[in-house]
A and B are shown apart, each in its own frame.
Chain A
Amino acid sequence: MKYTPVIGLEVHVELKTNSKMFCRCSADYFGKKPNTHTCPVCLGLPGALPYPNKKAIEWCLMIGLALNCEISLFSKFDRKNYFYPDLPKGYQISQYDEPFCKNGFIDLSNKKRVGIRRVHMEEDTGKLIHEGNSTLIDFNRSGVPLVEIVTDPDFESAGEVVEYLKKIQQIVRTLGVSNADLERGDMRMEPNISLKNEGQKELPKYRIEVKNINSFKLVDKAIEAEIDRQTQNPGQRFQATMRYDEKTNTTVTMRLKEEAADYRYFPEPDIPPFHWQQAYIEKLKKDAKVMMDKPSEEEERTQELLIKFSPISPVSAATIARDPKFYSSYGGTASIGKDEFGTPYQGTANAIINQKVPLVGISDEERAKIIADLNRVSDVDEDELNKTIDEVLKENKSAVEDYKKGKENAIMFLVGQVMRMFPQKIDVSKVKASLLAKIK
């Protein structure tokens, strides 16, 4: 039986407004001393009331507009009631049946159109820090504006999901509404994954939600792992919330959901509903379009790298352009590397992207030299190499099988095993070529 993965996605994007969603505290909480960015409102003290942040709402609307959403002229906040120690009011102010934006879409490079079900506004929670037997609560993050973007279950592969996520990241950065810095938790992703029989029209009756993943690479791995698990265990296709364990490359069940949790949503009485004027929405739409049409700084940098450092690969150029730390160390290092050590531009790019060299705290010269040393390869005796490859192939039959079945990654695993057997650094491409020759 062949299966088609059915994947939908919820993404939380933290906005970079100066103040929090419902109070005047600074929203710039990252790395700050715990509980210093707090006030009666974001601590949920008795009697404190939320006062909505206009800019945050405007930015949420702009994200929706950039994702081709409809904006309802009437909208409101709701209370989502649930108990958790990081939620000081006992409810989260969110949006239920009247989100600011709905029914949008985004097109992927394979021409697939992914439906955006809704884009809504809510507040972030505090952070729990587990120390020994006690748990500490830091409320600096409590009340930071969050935009939740929910897609239809239109994805069929991890690759599509990752492309979509990169697009979302680029859109919010272009709009200037979020840093979308994954390391800082500005984007948190929750894919839900199920399988249907090939050709089946209706959606599966269950879904596995994988909670709070904060890197594109892990989203990719988690989805692959979950598809594998569901493919191999048809009996274990149930409704559940899981998390991805990077160490074991597996998904682990957190809780089984028999029914949707009852959040007892009701309209937030502390915030009057919103009635937008059509003209206001039109203006925001225009603003968003102007910003989206302008080539982003990122795109401009990518173009610059592609021209200046040809033949660097477009993927590497884009990766470097996207990350300010990569971008600031690449140019100088690549030029010096080429001129003084003969390192190809792509070689420098690989070393920087894979973070084989320090990106800060050293000069471009020093960095170029480290990369040159890293890339220096020793000659290897042909016979010795062939002997080693034979041994590795014998010991890793399953990897060989995997490769033959079409798992491209398996070859790199085998290359690694061979390289490990040599004390000196040897030429990867030579190892790979010899391996391929033997397998085929």
Chain B
Amino acid sequence: MNKLNEHTIKQAREGLRRKDFSSVELTKACLEQINKAEPSINAFVTICKKEALVQAKEADKLISSNQDLPLLGIPIAVKDNLSTLGIRTTASSKVLDDYIPPYDATVIKKLKDAGAVLLGKTNMDAWAHGSSTETSDYGTTKNPWNTNHLPGGSSGGSAAAVAADEAIAAIGTETAGSIRQPASWCGVVGLKPTYGRVSRYGVIAMASSLDSPGPITKTVEDSASLLQVLAGKDEYDATTSPLPIGDYTLPIESKLNNLKIGISDEYFIEGIDVEVKREVLDSIKKFEEMGAKIEKIKLFDPRYAIDVYTIIQRSEVSSNLARYDGIRYGSEREKFGDEAKRRIILGTYALSSGYYDQYYNKASKVRSVIIEDFKKAFEKIDVILTPTSPSLPLPIGATNKSIMFGEIADVLVEPSSIAGLPGISIPIGFAKKLPIGMQIIGPQFAEELILQVAGTYEKKTEKEEWRKIKPNL
């Protein structure tokens, strides 16, 4: 029998509905685990113990009057770049050390409306600049599977909190890799929705044309039920799509017969970890056994995406961070860390008169070419499978002197981010006692399809031995 905090959303929901336990008990179990694990993993910037217990009590009242909401009484952790009314929101930067938003991000509002209990705010790379959490001004988060290793990032705190069973589920945000890569390194499920599927309102902007909030969960099924709550057009975010949302929580059925899966050699790049490669190829074989057709496709070398991404992201960052001018948020600009300063300088340069065409404009054009490249690919195949990260979780300190660390760690997720496509990273096993993830990329707004494919795989492999292992904390 699972401990309460080890439950999935589905298990917790069923238990709460059957009144096997209360939301207060469930929330306390998570808070106890936080107490126990935080000294070694540091996944949270702010723990909302008092607020969470108040919300849990309210949830219990609703449950006792037989009310039902999709996430009623379920404790969830959210990344610290999501604005939370009355709860400080730092984006892991000391610049916002004492900033308390007067409003909720749309994602937070939706979670609250669905009855969720907000456990706390998770650690991240400062301003989401990074893939390690090492740029956080509140200390590095450690990988729960081996605390000498990095959890990935920027949503490293959310991924680690879920992996360490500190929360039932978590919310992250991804610009290029920031959900999928930490999910992969922490052995959990991370879904980056199509750009515009989930509202960005209230998410402290990193690169506005790329940012996408999404769920980080223990199972694919949980990912689907969270997306169901989060997705949709928002009257506060002009870039959200008016397309109706799918029914993501459909029961998993084997849709793999005749499913065409594309595999691209370009994504098994030079220098890829041999064990990662082997595990992913193994998983692809399992898909074949389940009836899918594997087809070799040719995609652009993902390394082109690094250049495009770097220019666009740095440019937008330089503009987005201008408001932290030392006048209104109490903290001087010296509080910006080196990484943010580097990005501001590079982005400012790239947008400067005379350089715009050479950099931003050219990057935008290549971005269109990458979008077309994927479009063409999806005329022939349904989904694309690739490793999520070319490496196993790297040791703490790996970002030292590696200014482009993030871009290299995220090379396999950047092209689909730039194209605004949805992708899901799921755990497929371990090597050296560290998790390995694989991603499934779909066409725009094909969240339903990639969740079904991922869910089918999860079901097929649910009995595998490695799934029983828990981090030793």
A→B interface (CB under 8 Å):
40, 44-52, 79, 81, 83, 85, 88-91, 260, 262, 264-266, 269-272
Contact between B238 and A270, CB atoms less than 8 A apart:
yes
**Contact between chains at A264 and B348 (CB < 8 Å):** yes
Q: Is the CB of B236 within 8 A of A46?
A: no
Contacts of A90 in B (CB 8 A): 319, 321-323, 325
The listed residue (B238, B323, B351) touching A46 by CB distance below 8 A is B323
Indicate whether B205 reaches chain A with its CB closer than 8 angstroms: yes
Q: Is the CB of A45 within 8 A of B208?
A: no
Also in contact, A51 and B238, with CB within 8 A (given A81-B322, A264-B353): yes
Contact A88 B328 (CB under 8 A): yes
Smallest CB–CB gap between A262 and chain B, Å? Answer: 5
Any A CB within 8 A of the CB of B466 = no
B358 to chain A: closest CB distance in Å?
13
In the bound complex, do residue B236 and residue A264 qualify as a contact, i.e. CB atoms below 8 Å apart? no
* Given known contacts A264-B352, A270-B208, A48 and B202 CB-to-CB distance under 8 angstroms: yes
Confirm or deny: B21 has a beta carbon within 8 angstroms of a beta carbon on chain A. Answer: no
Inter-chain contact A47/B204, CB cutoff 8 Å: yes
**Lowest 4 CB-CB distances: which A-B pairs, in order?**
A90-B322, A269-B209, A264-B351, A269-B208
| B428 on interface, CB distance cutoff 8 Å | no
- Do residues A49 and B237 form an inter-chain contact, with CB atoms below 8 A? yes
Interface residues of B (CB under 8 A from A): 81-83, 89, 91, 96, 99, 101-103, 105, 200-205, 207-209, 235-239, 315-316, 318-319, 321-323, 325, 327-328, 348, 351-353, 356, 360
A-B contact pairs, 18 of them (CB 8 A): A46-B101, A47-B204, A49-B200, A49-B236, A81-B318, A81-B351, A83-B322, A89-B323, A90-B322, A260-B353, A262-B353, A264-B319, A264-B352, A265-B356, A266-B319, A266-B356, A269-B239, A269-B316
Q: Is the CB of B322 within 8 A of A46?
A: no
Instruction: Name the residue of chain B whose CB is nearest to the CB of A44.
Output: B323
Majority secondary structure of chain A interface residues (helix, strand, loop or mixed):
loop
A47 CB contact (under 8 Å) in B83, B209, B316, B321:
B83
B81 to chain A: which residues have CB within 8 Å? 47
Measured between alpha carbons, how far is A264 from B353 in the docked complex, in Å?
A: 6
Distance in angstroms from B354 CB to nearest chain A CB is 9
A91 to B327, CA, bound (A): 15
Q: Given contacts A52-B238, A81-B319, A89-B323, is CB(A45)–CB(B351) below 8 Å? A: no
Whether A271 and B238, one on each chain, are in contact in the complex, defined by CB atoms closer than 8 angstroms, is yes
**In the bound complex, do residue B239 and residue A270 qualify as a contact, i.e. CB atoms below 8 Å apart?**
yes
Which residues of B are found within 8 Å of A89, using beta-carbon distances?
Answer: 322-323
B327 adjacent to A45 (CB under 8 Å): no
Q: Is the CB of B322 within 8 A of A45?
A: no
CA distance A88 to B96 in the complex (A): 16
Q: Say how far B24's CB is from chain A's closest CB, in angstroms.
A: 30
Alpha-carbon distance A225/B412, docked complex (angstroms): 64
Complex: A45 Cα to B315 Cα, angstroms: 20
User: Given that A45-B101, A46-B89, A81-B351 are known contacts, is A266 also in contact with B315, CB under 8 Å in the complex?
Assistant: yes
Q: Are B201 and A49 in contact (CB under 8 A)?
A: yes
Q: Which residue of B lies closest to A23 (CB)?
A: B236
Q: Which residues of A contact B360 (CB under 8 A)?
A: 266
Q: Could you tell me the distance between the alpha carbons of A404 and B96 in the complex, rounded to whole angstroms?
A: 69
Q: Which residues of A contact B205 (CB under 8 A)?
A: 46-47
* A46-B96, A49-B200, A91-B319 known; A266-B351 Cβ under 8 A: yes
B237 close to A51 (CB less than 8 A): yes
Q: Is the CB of B238 within 8 A of A50?
A: yes
CB distance from B329 to the nearest CB of A (A): 8
**Cβ contacts under 8 Å, B204 to chain A:** 46-47
Nearest-Cβ distance from residue A84 to partner chain B, whole angstroms: 10
Bound CA span A85–B327, Å: 8
Nearest-CB residue, chain A, relative to B95: A46
> Contacts of B323 on A, CB cut-off 8 Å?
44, 46, 88-90
Interchain nearest-CB distance for B325 vs A (Å): 6
Q: Chain B's nearest CB lies how many Å from the CB of A272?
A: 6
Report Cα–Cα, A87/B126, bound state, in Å: 24
Taking A46-B96, A49-B236, A269-B239 as known contacts, 15 extra A-B pairs with beta carbons closer than 8 A to each other, sorted by chain A number, are A47-B200, A47-B204, A49-B238, A50-B238, A79-B319, A83-B325, A91-B319, A262-B353, A264-B348, A265-B356, A266-B315, A266-B316, A266-B351, A269-B207, A272-B239
Q: How far is the CA of A51 from the CA of B253 in the complex (A)?
A: 40
Bound-state CA distance A44–B319 (Å) is 12
A264 and B348 alpha carbons, distance in the complex (Å): 8
Chain B's closest residue to A51 (CB) is: B238
**When chains A and B are docked, how far (Å) is the Cα of A270 from the Cα of B235?**
13
CB proximity of A325 to chain B, nearest CB, Å: 39
Q: For A83, A85, A266, which residue has the most chain B Cβ atoms within 10 angstroms?
A: A266
From the candidates A47, A91, A265, A266, name the one contacting B105 in the complex (CB within 8 A): A47
Across-interface contacts of A266 in B (CB, < 8 A): 315-316, 319, 351, 356, 360
Q: How far is the CB of B441 from chain A (nearest CB, A)?
A: 22
Task: For the complex, give the distance between the alpha carbons of A272 and B209 in Å.
Answer: 10
User: Measured between alpha carbons, how far is A48 from B115 in the docked complex, in Å?
Assistant: 24
In the complex, chain B residues whose CB is within 8 Å of the CB of A48 = 103, 201-202
Closest to B209 in A: A269
Q: Judging by beta carbons under 8 Å apart, are B203 and A47 in contact?
A: yes
Distance from A44 Cβ to chain B, minimum over Cβ atoms (Å): 5
Q: How far is the CB of B419 from chain A (nearest CB, A)?
A: 15
Chain A residue contacts of B351, Cβ below 8 A: 81, 264-266
Contact call A46/B352, Cβ cutoff below 8 A: no
**Which of B82, B103, B321, B325 contacts A40, CB < 8 Å?**
B103
> With a CB–CB cut-off of 8 A, which chain B residues contact A50?
238
The distance in angstroms between the C-alpha atoms of A262 and B352, with both chains bound, is 7
Bound Cα distance from A262 to B322, whole angstroms: 15
* A269 / chain B contacts, CB cutoff of 8 Å: 207-209, 239, 316
Contacts of A45 in B (CB 8 A): 83, 101-103
For B105, list chain A residues within 8 Å (CB): 47
A166 to chain B, nearest CB (A): 36
Chain B residues positioned under 8 Å from A264 (CB to CB): 318-319, 348, 351-353, 356
B200: A residues at CB distance < 8 A: 47, 49
* B236 close to A91 (CB less than 8 A): no
Closest approach, in angstroms, between the C-beta of B192 and any C-beta of chain A?
Answer: 17
Whole-angstrom distance between the alpha carbons of A269 and B319 in the complex? 11
Q: What distance in Å separates the Cβ of A42 from its nearest Cβ neighbour in chain B? A: 12
Which residue of B has the minimal Cβ distance to A270? Answer: B208
> B237 contacts which chain A residues (CB < 8 A)?
49, 51, 270
Nearest chain A residue, comparing its CB with the CB of B360: A266
